[in-house]
Amino acid sequence: MTRIGYARVSTLDQNLDYQLDELKKSGCTKIFQEKTSSVNKRPEFEKCLDYLREGDTLVV
């Protein structure tokens, strides 16, 4: 079982550091991240979903 993380902020001037730190603390071994509004396409989120396998845990 693998813990997979996904971090996102809505604008380019926002920072992902806090989310990334928390995902690492929670044991995520693979983290997908992006800076984009939720109304736009989210390619890293799509890659994240494709990466997940049965038994994995997604941490957001």
At 9-54, the pLDDT tens digits run: 998 889 999 999 999 999 999 999 999 887 888 999 999 999 999 9
Check 10, 26, 37, 38 and give the catalytic one: 10
Q: Is the pLDDT of residue 57 over 90?
A: yes
Write the CATH number for 40.
Answer: 3.40.50.1390
How many domains would you assign to the chain? Answer: 1
- Give the burial string for 11-45 (b: 16+ CB within 10 Å, else e): eeeeeeeebeeebeeeebeebbbbebeeeeebebb
- Quote the pTM value: 0.90
Domain span at residue 17? 3-59
Helix extents (H) in 1-60 = 17-25, 43-51
Residue 43 pLDDT:
94
Residue 12 pLDDT:
86
Q: 10 catalytic, yes or no? A: yes
